[in-house]
Amino acid sequence: MDTKKLLEDAEVDAIVIYNGNNEDLNFYYFTRLLDGGIFEGSYAVVTEEGVKVITSILEEQSAKKGNNEVYIFNTSSERDELLKKSLKGMNTIGVNYDVLSLSDFNKIKKVVGEANFKDVSGKIQEWRMIKDEQEISMIKEAAKIASEVAEVMPDFMKEGIREYELAARLGYEMFKRGAEDFAFTTIMAFGENSAEPHYLSGARKLKKGDFVLMDFGARYHRYNSDMTRTFVFGKASEEQKEIYYTVLEAQKLGISMIKSGVNGKDVDIKVKELIDSTKYRGRMIHSTGHGLGLAVHDHVGLSSQRDLILKRGMVVTVEPGIYVPGFGGVRIEDDVLVKDDGHEVLTFAPKDELIEV
Ligand SMILES: [Mn+2]
């Protein structure tokens, strides 16, 4: 990480990230401490010479796994002293308004004393949109874990199983394959529940003819995957097939458009045009996709509401859906890496045929 270049770009002498009561994922972005540790109450100080980590003795071993200068404190006054020292002589200090709480900000100001503080949240967001090789390899592994799990999940679908039970199995299967956490709470929706895009899971029992919609992701070394597959338990009806293949066509259209230079807005518009040209007009009630990375919703992605020129190294989800209240819904979601002349789909579980379990 060329910290000198970043600081020049943000027009600051240093950046302070506080991983306090509010977790700031930028702590991991700058320190690349991706392998263990919680780092609560720790600072990352980005300077021209590199990144300094100020952390407690509880996390000394984890902190030293990285390539940063590490300073260990035992008490909060030692922590204050280390922060003050690391920012000595800095005139303009960048902070992240998106996450830093007002009380933590006041604390930092008190410790540091005379300095100008500048919000660099927008700049960091910009940098984070473009993933480097290390970040892409983590996302790829997270995507691989989720894809393998999507493939085996039909084995665990049986009549009468409850949504939360199948969601628990899904979690186990991810952890077994090396996930360190869920990317987010799994959505496991049976039958009519699949018509609600942000349903979680409940006591609904699986019965013949149900849609089974699972939207889930793995976290691997702090980076996330996010995918959705929809199945039918038993034999699919004509209506179910029609919904499924309409969504599939829309999703393939969306993916085919992904490449550097394309506006994410246009992808969303085209995908919705396709769905709106069928009898399911107006049934896609969310945007086509979002950026993916350290956060599951890492940045604006494919939305008709916002311009986003896709660039090489971005990772976006492509996840159209059709939702029919009282009946059910289908969503198909993959994670896609933007390249100069096209894209690479990182998730790979089967989807070309509606799977009847
Ligand atoms: Mn998603």
Cα-to-centroid distance, 182 and ligand 1 (Å):
13
Compute the distance between CA of residue 235 and CA of residue 208 in angstroms, rounded to an integer: 8
Query: To the nearest whole percent, how much of the chain has pLDDT over 70?
Result: 100
Domain membership of residue 110 as a residue range: 3-129
Residue in the block written with tokens 């199983």: 161
Asked whether 32 and 22 are in contact (CB, 8 A), the reply is no
Domain termination site, one of 112, 129, 146: 129
Stretch 14-39: mean pLDDT: 95
Same domain, 107 and 75: yes
Cα-to-centroid distance, 95 and ligand 1 (Å):
28
Cα-to-centroid distance, 235 and ligand 1 (Å):
27
Cα-to-centroid distance, 319 and ligand 1 (Å):
7
Cα-to-centroid distance, 150 and ligand 1 (Å):
15
Cα-to-centroid distance, 21 and ligand 1 (Å):
26
Cα-to-centroid distance, 318 and ligand 1 (Å):
8
**Pairing, β 14-19 against β 92-95:** parallel
Cα-to-centroid distance, 271 and ligand 1 (Å):
16
List residues bridging with 16 in a β-sheet.
45
Residue 341: φ, ψ to 5°:
-110, 20
List pLDDT tens digits, range 244-266.
999 999 999 999 999 999 999 99
Compute the distance between CA of residue 193 and CA of residue 162 in angstroms, rounded to an integer: 12
Same domain, 123 and 155: no
Mean pLDDT over the full length of the chain: 97
Domain termination site, one of 99, 129, 159: 129
Compute the distance between CA of residue 138 and CA of residue 124 in angstroms, rounded to an integer: 19
pLDDT class of 271 with cuts at 50, 70, 90? very high
Cα-to-centroid distance, 128 and ligand 1 (Å):
18
Residue 216 falls within a domain, yes or no?
Answer: yes
Cα-to-centroid distance, 106 and ligand 1 (Å):
35
Same domain, 22 and 151: no
CATH classification of the domain holding 89? 3.40.350.10
Question: Does pLDDT of 21 surpass 90?
Answer: no
Same domain, 282 and 142: yes
Stretch 87-103: mean pLDDT: 96
Cα 298 to its chain centre, rounded Å, is 5
Same domain, 63 and 186: no
Question: Does pLDDT of 9 surpass 90?
Answer: yes
Cα-to-centroid distance, 87 and ligand 1 (Å):
39
Stretch 85-112: mean pLDDT: 96
How many domains does the chain fold into?
A: 2
Cα-to-centroid distance, 298 and ligand 1 (Å):
10
Compute the distance between CA of residue 235 and CA of residue 270 in angstroms, rounded to an integer: 31
Question: Does pLDDT of 315 surpass 90?
Answer: yes
Tell me the helix, strand and coil percentages in the chain, rounded to 5: 35, 25, 40
Cα-to-centroid distance, 186 and ligand 1 (Å):
11
CA atoms in the 13 A half-sphere facing the CB of 47: 15
List pLDDT tens digits, range 139-175.
999 999 999 999 999 999 999 999 999 999 999 999 9
Q: Which residue spans within the chain are E strands per DSSP?
A: 14-19, 42-47, 50-56, 69-73, 92-95, 116-119, 181-182, 187-190, 210-216, 218-220, 223-224, 227-233, 289-290, 300-302, 315-318, 321-324, 328-331, 334-339, 342-345
Show the tokens assigned to 36: 């263990």
Cα-to-centroid distance, 317 and ligand 1 (Å):
6
Cα-to-centroid distance, 57 and ligand 1 (Å):
37
Cα-to-centroid distance, 171 and ligand 1 (Å):
17
Same domain, 79 and 173: no
Radius of gyration of the chain from its Cα atoms, rounded to whole angstroms: 23
Cα-Cα end-to-end distance for the chain: 47
Question: Does pLDDT of 94 surpass 90?
Answer: yes
- C-alpha to C-alpha distances, 188 to 81, 194, 303, nearest whole angstrom: 48, 8, 25
Asked whether 180 and 36 are in contact (CB, 8 A), the reply is no
